[in-house]
């Protein structure tokens, strides 16, 4: 075991560190939103500690305002709530009907979804019209996401990525929750000739396809699918869109199709674990219809994928302190020696760590651990261990002049999109919107656990 779970750590013991991190994140979020004035452009990553945009994508805009909502929920500053509400109304509507992306869950759940959850939990004043507005947004976004569909000959299919109908991204497992939320609200997608498309069916079909083609189980699927690499995750699965035949694994942001890009692994860990929670919460009567597996079958499929990916993170992808490098096959990792049995070193000269992947993975580990009950303690403790590391320097940014909260995040190593400081050989010291957001999400989860409660995206 490479990440060594601290069996004694409890959510209560992390409370002081969470409170400090929330105070820092709240101040940084306020200052960024006061400064940011780039209409139609979302902050993505920092350069020299200052958030910058990428002209081609707005997939992080929901995280920008989601950071404000989660900071408000954890810290209570009403200005954060006011900022988020104002910008969500002004900026987020176009995301709801965006037909060209696979990331609705990132933008919509972090904004409208969090506002709905806060209202239902009486953390903000209840207003029925406002609540219905949030719920309508979630319904629309879930249906539009489900419409981005590639059918396969076996009667299944998947939500295809922005690369096109041939492309299945593992990232979508985390974004998939918007379909679950829309289903929970009683919505469906209507197609040609008023065909009613069940969103739970689409959700489970996508999850099953992802588990089959994106996750490896050590069963000899290809030459590199060996038992010791059970849980290896492909960033992208390529299909022939004409015939529906699977062609090969691929990777956009990882080193190779046969190594594991660790943020993709983390999306799988959290996505499968969170969907397992969701499926467990639904009545058995909602399952077993046309194209919908029974509840037991669906739960078993999700649990298998969640266990495999979380095991891979613990045993193969992470270091002794729970942090991971950006890809398990990164070419210069051997230069670091026995890297799996050492704490991560974000200031090395060879390969960058990705703290954002670790933050996402921490939540996946904790949620799987809880879903499994007494049999999941090792997963939960591993997740708490990862969070404990992230809440300390050099990962938590205590520099008030730096706009990010979580340092040493990596965006796109192959394309060279990450800032390398003049005195360094690899990217380090910078933050990302999704890293900051997922640090806040896992802190909220652990803070609720410390209080003896819990939270999910589908709270009603």
Contact of 344 with 353, CB cutoff 8 Å: yes
Q: What share of the chain is helix, strand, coil (3-state, %, to 5)?
A: 50, 10, 40
3-class SS of residue 197: strand
Give start and end residues of each alpha helix (H) in 313-450: 355-371, 377-390, 433-450
Instruction: Look at residue 154 in the predicted model and tell me its pLDDT.
Output: 84
Give the max Cα distance, the chain.
62
Distance CA 198, CA 190 (A): 9
Is residue 404 a contact partner of residue 49, using CB atoms and an 8 Å limit? yes
Q: How far apart are CA 131 and CA 158, in angstroms?
A: 30
* 85 close to 39: Cβ distance less than 8 angstroms: no
d(CA 140, CA 255): 36
**How many CB atoms neighbour CB 184 within 10 A?**
23
Per-residue pLDDT, 3: 67
CA 42 to chain centre: 18
pLDDT of residue 39: 82
Contact 102, 175 (CB under 8 A): yes
C-alpha to C-alpha distance for 288 and 295, rounded to whole angstroms: 7
From first to last of its 460 residues, what are the pLDDT tens digits of the chain?
466 666 789 999 999 999 999 999 999 999 999 999 888 889 999 999 999 998 666 899 999 999 999 999 999 999 999 999 999 999 999 999 999 999 999 999 999 999 999 999 999 999 999 999 999 999 999 999 999 999 999 889 999 999 999 999 999 999 999 999 999 999 999 999 999 999 999 999 999 999 999 999 999 989 999 999 999 999 999 999 999 999 999 999 999 999 999 999 999 999 999 999 999 999 999 998 877 889 999 999 999 999 999 999 999 999 999 999 999 999 999 999 999 899 999 999 999 999 999 999 999 999 999 999 999 999 999 999 999 999 999 999 999 999 999 999 999 999 999 999 999 999 999 999 999 999 999 999 999 999 999 999 998 6
Contact 313, 3 (CB under 8 A): yes
3-state secondary structure of 189: strand
* Nearest by Cα to 431 from 35, 49, 152, 15: 49
What pLDDT score was predicted for residue 6?
Answer: 67
Residue with tokens 């069940």, as numbered in its chain: 198
Q: Which residues contact 283 (CB under 8 A, 6 or more apart)?
A: none
Of the candidates 362, 349, 343, the one whose C-alpha atom is nearest the C-alpha of residue 443 is 362
CA–CA distance, 125 with 185 (Å, rounded to integer): 21
Q: Is 452 exposed, middle or buried (0-12, 13-18, 19+ CB in 10 A)?
A: exposed
Tell me if 51 sits within 8 A of 424, measured CB to CB: no
Separation CA 87–CA 110 (nearest Å): 13
- What is the DSSP secondary structure assignment for residue 324, as one 8-state letter? B
pLDDT at 38: 84
Alpha-carbon 186 to chain mean position: 24
N residues, the chain = 460
Residue 61's contacts (CB-CB under 8 Å, 6 or more residues apart) are: 42, 91, 92, 95, 107
Beta-strand relationship, 43-47 and 50-53: antiparallel
CB 174 within 8 Å of CB 242: no
Cα 436 from Cα 438, distance rounded (Å):
6
For the entire predicted model, the pTM comes to 0.97
Query: What is the CATH class of 11-450?
Result: mainly alpha
Strand locations in 125-194 (E) = 149-151, 157-159, 167-169, 189-190
């Amino acid at each position: 075991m490479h990440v060594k779970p601290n069996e004694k750590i409890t959510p209560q013991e992390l409370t002081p560190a969470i409170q400090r991190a929330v105070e820092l994140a709240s101040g940084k979020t306020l200052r960024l939103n006061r400064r940011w004035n780039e209409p139609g452009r979302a902050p993505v990553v920092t350069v020299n500690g200052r958030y910058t945009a990428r002209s081609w994508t707005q997939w992080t805009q929901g995280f920008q305002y989601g950071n404000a909502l989660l900071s408000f929920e954890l810290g209570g500053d009403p200005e954060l709530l006011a900022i988020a509400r104002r910008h969500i109304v002004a900026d987020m509507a176009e995301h709801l009907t965006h037909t060209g992306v696979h990331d609705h869950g990132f933008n919509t759940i972090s904004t409208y979804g969090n506002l709905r959850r806060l209202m239902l939990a009486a953390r903000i004043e209840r207003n029925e019209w406002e609540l219905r507005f949030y719920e309508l947004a979630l319904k629309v976004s879930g249906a539009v996401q489900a419409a981005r569909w590639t059918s396969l000959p076996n009667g299944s299919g998947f939500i295809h990525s922005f690369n096109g109908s041939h492309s299945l991204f593992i990232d979508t497992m985390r974004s998939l929750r918007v379909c679950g939320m829309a289903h929970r609200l009683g919505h469906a997608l209507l197609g040609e000739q008023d065909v009613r498309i069940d969103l739970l069916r689409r959700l489970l079909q996508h999850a099953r396809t992802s588990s089959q083609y994106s996750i490896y189980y050590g069963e000899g699927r290809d030459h590199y699918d060996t038992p010791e690499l059970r849980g290896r995750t492909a960033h992208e699965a390529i299909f022939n869109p004409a015939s529906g035949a699977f062609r090969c694994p691929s990777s956009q942001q990882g080193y190779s199709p046969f190594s594991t890009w660790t943020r993709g692994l983390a999306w799988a860990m959290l996505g499968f674990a969170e969907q397992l929670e969701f499926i467990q919460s639904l009545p058995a009567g909602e399952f077993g219809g046309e194209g919908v597996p029974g509840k037991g079958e669906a739960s078993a499929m999700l649990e298998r994928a969640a266990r495999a990916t979380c095991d891979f993170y613990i045993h193969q992808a992470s270091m002794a302190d729970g942090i991971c490098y950006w890809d398990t096959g990164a070419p210069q990792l051997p230069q670091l020696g026995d890297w799996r049995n050492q704490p991560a070193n974000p200031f090395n000269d060879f390969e960058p760590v990705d703290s954002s992947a670790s933050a996402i993975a921490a939540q996946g580990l904790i949620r799987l651990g809880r879903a499994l009950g007494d049999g999941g303690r090792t997963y939960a403790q591993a997740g708490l261990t990862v969070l404990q590391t992230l809440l300390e320097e050099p990962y938590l940014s205590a520099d008030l002049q730096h706009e990010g909260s979580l340092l040493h995040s990596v965006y796109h190593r192959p394309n060279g999109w990450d800032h390398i400081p003049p005195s360094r050989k690899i990217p380090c010291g910078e933050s990302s919107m999704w890293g900051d957001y997922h640090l806040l999400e896992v802190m909220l989860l652990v803070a609720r656990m410390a209080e003896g409660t819990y939270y999910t995206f589908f709270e009603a």
